[in-house]
Amino acid sequence: FPEVLSNPKLVPVQGTLNVVMKQNVTLSCLSEPGSPPVRYTLFKHNQQVSALNRSDLAPALFTLTISSASDVGQYKCKAEHNNSSGGKYSNSLSFTLIEPISKPVLSSPTSQAKKGQNVTLCCFSENGSLPITYLFFKGTQNISPQKTMQKREAAVIFLFINSPSDFGTYKCKANNSFPNNTKYSNGFNFTLAEERSHSQPLLISLGLILLLLITGFALAIPFFLVPLYKASE
């Protein structure tokens, strides 16, 4: 008599359930213990996809192509002896479709800064599977720990402008679980804000006072000259 089959195990051969569009994936289904021959059937959403007969103790291998979002849905396999009723079902598996990230945008609420000022840099990639990891650079040197965002929101860092070198070119990079898909932003530079001299408001005030004095003197001249003119007649 054939040995009673156990519930088979369904596992991805590639070791991960993260997939990309147009990728080939292989699922392994094996009932252990269980004496051959064994018929293995793969189901997707309770619809039969494929079936294989194994006459040895090797697993049944099912190769699939992820060609649409519906191909990531729930899979199960069934193990049964030929000409027997019933059968045992495996655990279920669902793939996660990952998408490449778009080029991140590096921005700041202010484009001008001066020495002694705190500034903010924001890095955001609009498209791509979450989570997304961001890293900030000045030149070729990273200036912050990695920031992994679980939500569709920008990574933010705060900087203190302390010297002329802090006006260098900044960039950020973004990546996710999509293979070989690191993207870099365009460069961003702060411009030096013109610092008004402390003496400038004083000079403006003195100029206004002088102008008022000259205007007042000019208006007062007729009041002095007319009496003098009449007195000389």
> What CATH number does residue 30 fall under?
2.60.40.10
Same domain, 13 and 93: yes
Please give the pLDDT value at position 200: 56
Examine residue 63 and state whether it is found in any structural domain, yes or no: yes
Examine residue 58 and state whether it is found in any structural domain, yes or no: yes
Please give the pLDDT value at position 206: 76
Same domain, 91 and 154: no
Does the CA dihedral 114-120-121-125 come out positive or negative? Answer: negative
Please give the pLDDT value at position 225: 57
Please give the pLDDT value at position 224: 60
Based on DSSP, count helices (H) and strands (E) in the chain, helices before strands.
1, 19
Examine residue 74 and state whether it is found in any structural domain, yes or no: yes
Q: Predicted confidence band at 4 (pLDDT cuts at 50, 70, 90)? A: confident
Cβ atoms of 146 and 159 closer than 8 Å = no
Examine residue 199 and state whether it is found in any structural domain, yes or no: no
Confidence (pTM): 0.62
Residue 30: closest CA among 88, 95, 86: 88
* Last residue within a domain, chosen from 28, 62, 97: 97
* Last residue within a domain, chosen from 75, 97, 119: 97
Please give the pLDDT value at position 69: 86
Does the CA dihedral 206-114-156-171 come out positive or negative? Answer: positive
What is the pLDDT of the chain when averaged over all its residues? 87
Query: Which residues span the domain enclosing 136?
Result: 105-192
Please give the pLDDT value at position 233: 60
Encode pLDDT of 61-93 as tens digits: 999 999 988 899 899 999 998 766 678 999 999
How far apart are alpha carbons 166 and 143 in whole angstroms?
11
Cβ atoms of 174 and 99 closer than 8 Å = no
Same domain, 148 and 126: yes
Residue of higher predicted confidence among 164 and 75 = 75
Residue 30 forms beta bridges with which residues? 9
Same domain, 177 and 155: yes
Examine residue 70 and state whether it is found in any structural domain, yes or no: yes
Tell me the pairing of strands 170-175 and 141-142.
unpaired
Please give the pLDDT value at position 3: 67
